[in-house]
Amino acid sequence: MPLGKKILVVDDAPMNILILKNILEDKYTLASAESGKKALEIIPEFRPDLILLDIMMPGMDGYEVCKRIREEKQYRFIKIIMVSAKTMIDDRLKGYQVGADDYITKPFDKKELEAKIRVFSQLKHEEELNQLKGDLLMLFSHETKTPLSVIIGLAAILQKNSELNDELKKHIRTISEKAYQLLEFINKTSLICSLKSGLEISEASGSIIKHLKTAIEVLKEKASRKDVAIELDVKNDIELQADWSLFDTALGYLLDNAVKYSPEGETVLARAEISEGRCMIRFSDQGEGIRQDWIDKIFDEFAVQNIMHHQKGQGLSLAISRYIMALHDGTIHVESTPGNGATFTLSLPISTE
> Given this structure, which CATH class describes domain 6-108?
alpha beta
Give the residue from 151, 150, 169, 171 showing the smallest Cα distance to 159. 169
d(CA 246, CA 276): 24
- pLDDT the model gives residue 334: 92
Give the residue from 40, 89, 32 showing the smallest Cα distance to 61. 40
φ and ψ of 109, to 5 deg: -85, 130
Nearest-5° Cα angle at 125, 119 to 131:
135
Name the 3-class secondary structure at 165.
coil
Residue pair 60/82 in contact by the 8 Å Cβ criterion: no
Residue pair 258/228 in contact by the 8 Å Cβ criterion: no
Residue pair 342/290 in contact by the 8 Å Cβ criterion: yes
- pLDDT the model gives residue 144: 82
Residue pair 315/304 in contact by the 8 Å Cβ criterion: yes
d(CA 180, CA 249): 17
Residue 343's CB: how many other CB atoms inside 10 A? 17
Alpha-carbon distances of 258 from 231, 270, 306, 347, rounded to whole Å? 12, 9, 16, 17
CA dihedral 32, 37, 43, 49 (to 10 degrees): 60
d(CA 230, CA 208): 16
Residue pair 75/44 in contact by the 8 Å Cβ criterion: no
Residue pair 29/60 in contact by the 8 Å Cβ criterion: no
Task: State which residues of the chain have pLDDT below 50.
Answer: 1-2, 305-314
Residue pair 295/265 in contact by the 8 Å Cβ criterion: no
> Residue 281's beta-bridge partner residues?
272, 346
Residue pair 297/287 in contact by the 8 Å Cβ criterion: no
Nearest-5° Cα angle at 228, 223 to 234:
90
- pLDDT the model gives residue 350: 83
Residue pair 177/216 in contact by the 8 Å Cβ criterion: no
The topology (CATH level 3) of 204-349 is Heat Shock Protein 90 (3.30.565)
φ and ψ of 7, to 5 deg: -125, 135
Residue 136's CB: how many other CB atoms inside 10 A? 11
Give the residue from 127, 129, 111 showing the smallest Cα distance to 79. 127
What sign does the CA torsion over 32, 33, 36, 37 have? Answer: negative
φ and ψ of 50, to 5 deg: -145, 145
Q: Cα 112 to chain center, whole Å?
A: 32
- pLDDT the model gives residue 314: 44
Question: What are the domain boundaries of the chain?
Answer: 6-108, 131-196, 204-349
φ and ψ of 41, to 5 deg: -75, -35
